[in-house]
Structure 1
Amino acid sequence: MELKDRMPVLYRHLGVWDGYYRYFDKDGVKIDEHKSRLLCRFPTEHTYHQTNFYFWQDGKKETRDFPTKIENNKIIFYTEVSGWAAEVTLDEFNRTVMLYWVRTNEENLHLYEMIQISDCGKYRSRVWQWFKNGRLLQRTLIDEEFVTTDWQSYENLQPEYADIA
């Protein structure tokens, strides 16, 4: 059975996504915001590769790269973050993916993420809940719009803040 049949919700995320991240402390006060472009690809039946480009209005930029492997219908992270991503099989609407991950360089910090993709596949919303020593530290809200499945055309581009919708 092909990957798109084994993991149909995850496979719907294939392509380029432009978005906006907003970070809030545990009391709901905004502490940061930036734009993003994500390249989501499945190079083989057993791998997923995501590259995140972040852009702040003041010109700051950051790139994070997440090559992964796929085992037992889960994406396994093993770089600067470790953890997993999996479809929520209880979601009869086939919209939800859950993630659990830790940053390997930060002690006692872990995150849970929920990704909700729209039925039309053009929009997705993500929520990160950050926990430090078992207590809520902050939340990140992410709104994204689908750009194209043609991630190859975007792989070597270096966009600017103004290029992201």
Structure 2
Amino acid sequence: MDSAAQLETIAARWQGSFHNRRQVAATLARGGPVAPELTRELRTMEVERLQAPHLGEVVLYFQEFRASAPQLAHRQRVVVLGVDPLRGAVRAEQLFFRGGPTYDRPALDAAWVQTLGPEAFDRHPGCDLFFVAEPALDRFRARMDPGACRYRHPQDGEVCADFEMLLHPDQLWYRDRSLRLADGSVRGEVDGFSWLLFDRADRSDGIGPDGALDADLPALVRQQGVWRGRFRRYDAEGGLLETFPSTITIRVFQEGGRWRYHQSSLHGPEDAPLRRLEAQGEIHSGRVWFTSERYQGWAMDLPGEDPAAGSLLVMRARDPADPDVHEIISCSADGRRRWRVSQLLKDGQLVGRTTIDEEKLSGG
């Protein structure tokens, strides 16, 4: 493949919506203490091709968002692709938005960005990327020239950036860090300078063409709506203790730039007043984190399923006299039915089980 063909292939592969949900799920499923080399935060990336001949023939624009600050573009760049005649390689010239912070910038619409002239950007040629084809692995590797991307930081003095990217047909990997040249110490790095893995999103992920974050939230969020079901409680030996109807309402909404979760449960024996339980929570880093009067816990997607076919919940009792709860939720392919199995544990012993069969009445 000649350089011109490589350029178009790179441009095509680089465009689209991407997310690191699979990598986050694998990290969370691994368990153990938090490690700086293992990403636990959901990120999404949107890359669009601009019609901006005043900037270059092939111009891309990307924004990357973190779940902890979905209203801000953590990384935001315009990239001009071209063939470097001296190297015979594809060069990606990075254009940095002039004015304001380098990271965590307000999101900008691509239609407006493509109207900006060259005066709206700063250029740092040493920070450009050069692509090398690795045909045996069906990918391109891009990186800056070693030690070339230098700039002066107001607090840390002379700094050198180190960035590398791998571009597959359906994946985008990158790692990023900066070093203080005075002593070689790390000024900043993304997840311990390990690789971030972004998968290309498609309609099965639920991610829209604008890369909106609400489309790539945990499976429990996609179960929002009103569910009617029946609880069956069993003792530790499997004997049926009681059965009763339930109505559960799940609601997801944005507030203060964050995603919030609310669940209201109505249930109880048919010959007794209904009991109402309320749970409030927040959604970030690939999980739903929630609290109620009796429990606090989290929910995550069942690992190894893409798209997720259900959820895993862990609930810790606030009162030591109450049992902890481990629950698995499985959903039908059409999202209209779900089946829940809970195990109640106290002092390391099984004390009971609950099964719930539910049908969605509305919402979602």
Q: TM-score, normalised by structure 2?
A: 0.39
| Residue 25 to residue 43, structure 1, CA distance change in 2 (3 Å) | same
Partner of 1:40: 250
Measured in 1, the distance between the counterparts of 2:212 and 2:244 equals 36
Measured in 1, the distance between the counterparts of 2:318 and 2:261 equals 19
Partner of 2:264: 51
Q: Which has the larger radius of gyration?
A: 2
Q: CA deviation at 1:3?
A: 4.3
**2:231 is the counterpart of 1:17:** no
Higher strand content, 1 or 2: 1
Deviates further, 23-32 or 70-79: 70-79
Tell me how large the CA RMSD over aligned residues is: 1.8
Q: CA deviation at 1:66?
A: 0.4
Q: CA deviation at 1:11?
A: 2.8
Partner of 1:72: 285
Measured in 1, the distance between the counterparts of 2:272 and 2:213 equals 38
Map 1:1-165; keep pairs closer than 5 Å.
1-7=211-217, 9-44=219-254, 45-80=258-293, 81-92=295-306, 94-107=308-321, 109-149=323-363
Secondary structure of 2:219 counterpart: helix
Deviates further, 18-27 or 108-117: 108-117
- Which AA in structure 2 matches 1:113? E
Secondary structure of 2:220 counterpart: helix
Measured in 1, the distance between the counterparts of 2:350 and 2:324 equals 10
Measured in 1, the distance between the counterparts of 2:346 and 2:246 equals 25
Greater RCO structure (CA 8 Å; 6+ sep): 1
Deviates further, 135-144 or 55-64: 55-64
- Which AA in structure 2 matches 1:76? W
- Which AA in structure 2 matches 1:115? I
Measured in 1, the distance between the counterparts of 2:268 and 2:326 equals 23
- The Cα offsets for residues 48-77 of structure 1, whole Å up to 9 and x where unpaired, read as 100001142213310000011112121112
Gaps of 5+ in 2: 1-210
- Which AA in structure 2 matches 1:135? Q
Q: CA deviation at 1:111?
A: 1.1
- The Cα offsets for residues 110-155 of structure 1, whole Å up to 9 and x where unpaired, read as 11100011001110000000111001110000000000018xxxxx
Contact map agreement 1:3 1:11 (CA 8 A) in 2: no
Deviates further, 38-47 or 17-26: 38-47
Gaps of 5+ in 1: 151-165
- Which AA in structure 1 matches 2:225? G
Aligned length: 150
- Which AA in structure 2 matches 1:40? I
Quick one: percent identity of the two aligned structures?
A: 27
Higher helix content, 1 or 2: 2
- Which AA in structure 2 matches 1:25? D
Q: CA deviation at 1:9?
A: 2.1
Secondary structure of 1:12 counterpart: helix
Secondary structure of 2:300 counterpart: strand
Measured in 2, the distance between the counterparts of 1:38 and 1:79 equals 14
Contact map agreement 2:218 2:286 (CA 8 A) in 1: no
| Residue 85 to residue 8, structure 1, CA distance change in 2 (3 Å) | closer
- Which AA in structure 2 matches 1:19? G
Measured in 2, the distance between the counterparts of 1:142 and 1:108 equals 20
Partner of 2:6: none
Contact map agreement 1:40 1:51 (CA 8 A) in 2: yes
- Which AA in structure 1 matches 2:314? Y
